[in-house]
Amino acid sequence: MNFYKRTALVCRQIPKGKVATYGQIAMLCGKPKNARQVGYALGHNLAGDVPAYRVVNASGILSGAAAFETPDLQKQMLEQEGIRVNRTERGLQIDLKRDGWKNTMEDALWLRNEFEVRGI
Tens-digit pLDDT profile for residues 78-107: 999 999 999 999 999 999 999 999 999 999
Beta bridge partners of 112: none
In the chain, domain spans: 3-118
- At a CB cut-off of 8 Å and minimum separation 6, what does 88 contact? none
Q: What is the pTM of this model?
A: 0.94
* pLDDT surpasses 90 at 69: no
For the structural domain made of 3-118, what CATH number should be given? 1.10.10.10
- Dist. CA 24–CA 3, nearest whole Å: 14
Find how far residue 120's CA is from the centre of its chain. 19
